């Protein structure tokens, strides 16, 4: 409500009002001009003027007004997500996933390319090649591409586009956004991969109906992110959400961050693979995960026990986090979703056992391309002013 009042009161800030209207249509669906005026509190004249701009730019379209016994109803409008394109790139330890989407981050096409080197220049080159290949395959005009979002397993300064530290990549103070933007000639945004995952859900997932929620992503690492009153909680340094780096076992193995016994050392997908001696660096991460799935399907007791233990441990840590933050619901995503009941039976058991505030609503993100959709959301959030 405070945000709405501030926007309504800033008569000169047309851009803020424009984004406010776009977001109301995104959030509520089809709305007429009169419904928009009522919903936003803006004057009908202001709404009509801004809507005319959006129609001219093809950002919104009018649907056919229905006719009832009382006459013609107001014409509803909706966002035209298909007129603009975004690219989302997820950087993984051995590959990139490049996804072409519309403005809602709905996938159009994707490709995966191996990373022969983690040198920043080499990674930029692979990204450039992947984007060109996707656009050519789809015969898409680059003038409709509003930008590229890149999600990185790292501490990222999203404002400056600098990757401050990536333990996994061995990067420090790399201006990756600027490097790639110079190659492409279009805007590039970078973000911590788990932050990007949360942003995607804020824009087009559970955030449509929940102003505050959390996301947990379990893949090569483990994260816990919070959207609070519609805003991503980044923390003082922008590094909030590193659940996987909580100390789980002070006498445990060394983590990629250099410390010992972090939660993700044993309980991330990579940690489970290491426990099972499936983390051969000659195999791609995808191959290693497929081998784990095959072990589970065959009833391999060590694999079953390892995954159950990880599920129970992560479930307990999530219960502890919700006791501190009191954020609900929670979206679960990452490659761990592929483990299904092998992981989630134990996860839910621990979550229910240790929850302080009663049952926690959880939603599983079963969609494909969860990481790269999050990267694409870095671009589309600029349109919506999120």
Backbone φ and ψ of 313, nearest 5°: -65, -45
pLDDT at site 329: 96
pLDDT at site 79: 87
Quote helix, strand, coil % in the chain, to nearest 5: 45, 20, 30
State whether residue 132 is helix, strand or coil.
helix
Q: Tell me the C-alpha distance between 380 and 200, whole Å.
A: 9
- Same domain as 67, residue 44: yes
Q: What is the mean pLDDT of the chain?
A: 90
Q: For residue 232, what are its two tokens? A: 């991503």
pTM of the model: 0.84
- Same domain as 315, residue 356: yes
Residue 292 CB partners (closer than 8 Å, separation 6+): 269, 272, 273, 276, 278, 303, 307, 339
The boundaries of the domain holding residue 148 are 85-198+371-384
- Same domain as 122, residue 102: yes
CB 114 within 8 A of CB 137: no
Burial of 298: CB neighbours in 10 Å, binned 0-12, 13-18, 19+: exposed
CB 222 within 8 A of CB 244: yes
Q: What is the pLDDT averaged over residues 345-372?
A: 92
State whether residue 10 is helix, strand or coil.
coil
* Tally of domains within the chain: 3
- Determine the distance from the C-alpha atom of residue 383 to the mean position of all C-alpha atoms in its chain, rounded to a whole number: 16
Domain CATH code at residue 243: 3.30.420.40
Give the strand order in the sheet containing 330-333.
231-232, 222-228, 213-218, 330-333, 362-364
pLDDT tens for 345-357 read 999 999 999 999 8
pLDDT-derived band of residue 2, with 50, 70 and 90 as boundaries? very low
- Same domain as 375, residue 362: no
Extended strands (E) in the chain: 60-62, 67-68, 71-72, 77-79, 85-91, 95-102, 107-114, 145-152, 155-157, 162-166, 171-174, 188-192, 213-218, 222-228, 231-232, 330-333, 362-364
- Same domain as 169, residue 285: no
pLDDT tens for 243-295 read 999 999 999 999 999 999 999 999 999 999 999 999 888 899 999 999 999 99
Q: Tell me the C-alpha distance between 178 and 232, whole Å.
A: 23
pLDDT tens for 205-217 read 899 899 999 999 9
pLDDT at site 87: 96
């Amino acid at each position: 409500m405070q945000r709405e009042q501030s926007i309504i009161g800033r008569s000169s800030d047309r851009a803020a009002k424009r984004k406010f209207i776009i977001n109301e249509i995104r959030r509520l669906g089809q709305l007429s001009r009169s419904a928009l005026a009522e919903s936003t509190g803006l004057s009908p004249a202001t709404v009509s003027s801004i809507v005319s701009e959006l129609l001219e730019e093809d950002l919104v379209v009018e649907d056919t007004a229905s006719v009832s016994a009382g006459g013609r109803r107001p014409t509803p409008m909706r966002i035209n997500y298909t007129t603009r394109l975004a690219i989302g790139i997820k950087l993984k330890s051995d590959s990139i996933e490049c996804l072409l989407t519309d403005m809602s981050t709905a996938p159009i096409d994707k490709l995966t390319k191996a990373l022969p080197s983690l040198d920043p220049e080499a990674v930029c080159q692979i990204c450039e090649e992947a984007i060109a290949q996707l656009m050519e395959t789809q015969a898409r005009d680059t003038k409709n591409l509003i930008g590229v979002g890149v999600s990185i397993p790292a501490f990222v300064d999203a404002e400056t586009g600098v990757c401050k530290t990536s333990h996994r990549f061995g990067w420090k103070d790399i201006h990756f956004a600027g490097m790639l933007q110079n190659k492409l000639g279009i805007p590039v945004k970078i973000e911590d991969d788990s932050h990007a995952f949360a942003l995607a859900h804020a824009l087009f997932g559970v955030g449509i109906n929940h102003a505050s929620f959390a996301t947990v992503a379990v893949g090569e690492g483990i994260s816990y992110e919070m959207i609070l009153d519609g805003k991503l909680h980044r923390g003082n340094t922008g590094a909030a959400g590193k659940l996987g780096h909580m100390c789980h076992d002070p006498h445990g193995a060394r983590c990629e961050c250099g410390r010992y016994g972090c939660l993700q050392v044993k309980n991330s997908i990579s940690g489970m693979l290491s426990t099972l001696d499936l983390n051969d660096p000659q195999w791609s991460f995808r191959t290693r995960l497929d081998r784990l799935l095959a072990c589970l399907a065959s009833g391999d007791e060590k694999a079953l026990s390892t995954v159950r233990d990880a599920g129970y441990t992560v479930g307990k840590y999530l219960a502890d986090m919700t006791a501190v933050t009191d954020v609900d619901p929670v979206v679960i995503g990452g490659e761990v979703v592929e483990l299904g009941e092998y992981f989630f039976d134990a996860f839910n058991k621990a979550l229910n056992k240790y929850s302080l505030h009663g049952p926690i609503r959880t939603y599983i993100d079963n969609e494909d391309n969860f990481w790269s959709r999050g990267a694409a959301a870095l671009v589309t959030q600029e349109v919506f002013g999120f």
